[in-house]
Homo-oligomer: A and B are copies of this chain.
Amino acid sequence: MSASTEVKAPVIVLVRPQLGENIGKAARAMLNFGLTELRLVSPRDGWPNPSAGPAAAGADEVLEQAEVFETLAEAVSDCANVYATTVRKRGVTKPVVTPEEAAREVHAAPGRSAYVFGPERSGLETEDVALARAILTVPINPAFASLNLAQAVILCAYEWSKGAALVQPTVEDLLPPAPQEELEGLIGHFEALLAPTKYFFPESRAAATRLTLRNMLTKPGWNSLEVRTMRGVLSALGRPARPE
């Protein structure tokens, strides 16, 4: 995957992060969805931070390449689209977007983009938000809006990744449903076994019963292997019982 090297991959900016552990978790969340460019604005405990590595759980490349800046303005100076993430809307006159909308804009925008996250406890200051073109707010349960830093990062990275090339089709290796004639063979097998039993009685209901059975057996979309398995089951059931 080279999504991370694509021009459109946004930068993740952590403003005055407090705990090294949370920086590591954010790095892990980023790399999970193909983001690699991390920028830190005045991390409280300096940088590098020994607590970050273990929490990154293998996302070391993100930490190693992390850049440190004095101010948010410097950290986003090369970015055309800056999103300030806040849990709740502030009383500012900027567009407010969801992670989904932001991701669409990031993919469409010609310049570089940045997602900016505030310190764990307090969030972004009004001055930080003022640097952003838009506010990114995760639509969260208002009765319990307790999103931590890495979770906010992962939701943004996840939404971005949907539009990136790294998303593979998911249903690719399912076998297709068996051809109709194999299905007919299976239905015929059922009917042949059921005929000698009282199953299709009374005669007046037989057609409807056959139809029900057919509808049921066409519903699964069983593939050829599965049809063959079910025929094996029927053969086993149709064998004369052991001598009694």
Q: Which of A64-72, A94-102, A123-131 contacts B (4 or more CB under 8 A)?
A: A94-102
- Does A239 lie at the interface of the complex (its beta carbon under 8 Å from any beta carbon of B)? yes
From known contacts A168-B139, A197-B239, A241-B196, infer whether A144 and B32 are also in contact, taking CB-CB under 8 Å: yes
Q: Which residues of B contact A222 (CB under 8 A)?
A: 216, 219
Q: Is the CB of A95 within 8 A of B32?
A: no
Given contacts A96-B170, A193-B237, 18 further A-B contacts (CB under 8 A): A28-B146, A32-B145, A96-B174, A137-B170, A138-B158, A139-B162, A139-B166, A141-B161, A151-B154, A154-B154, A155-B158, A194-B237, A196-B242, A197-B239, A198-B236, A199-B232, A199-B233, A213-B229
Q: Which of B93, B161, B234 contacts A174 (CB 8 A)?
A: B93
- Does A110 lie at the interface of the complex (its beta carbon under 8 Å from any beta carbon of B)? no
Interface of A is mostly: loop
- Does A226 lie at the interface of the complex (its beta carbon under 8 Å from any beta carbon of B)? yes
List which A205-242 residues lie within 8 A (CB) of chain B: 212-213, 216, 219-223, 225-226, 229-230, 232-234, 236-242
Of A93, A162, A173, A190, the most chain B CB neighbours within 10 A belong to A93
Q: Which residues of B contact A199 (CB under 8 A)?
A: 232-233, 236
CB distance from A181 to the nearest CB of B (A): 19
Taken together as a complex, chains A and B put the C-alpha atoms of A62 and B93 apart, in Å, by 36
- Does A109 lie at the interface of the complex (its beta carbon under 8 Å from any beta carbon of B)? no
Q: Which residues of B contact A58 (CB under 8 A)?
A: 144, 146
Of A32, A33, A98, the most chain B CB neighbours within 10 A belong to A32
Of A59, A197, A229, the most chain B CB neighbours within 10 A belong to A197
Taken together as a complex, chains A and B put the C-alpha atoms of A232 and B196 apart, in Å, by 15
Taken together as a complex, chains A and B put the C-alpha atoms of A145 and B166 apart, in Å, by 12
Taken together as a complex, chains A and B put the C-alpha atoms of A225 and B92 apart, in Å, by 12
Q: Is the CB of B32 within 8 A of A147?
A: yes
- Does A34 lie at the interface of the complex (its beta carbon under 8 Å from any beta carbon of B)? yes
Q: Is the CB of B226 within 8 A of A93?
A: yes
- Does A175 lie at the interface of the complex (its beta carbon under 8 Å from any beta carbon of B)? yes
CB distance from A43 to the nearest CB of B (A): 22
Q: Which residues of B contact A170 (CB under 8 A)?
A: 89, 96-98, 101, 137, 139
Closest to A143 in B: B1
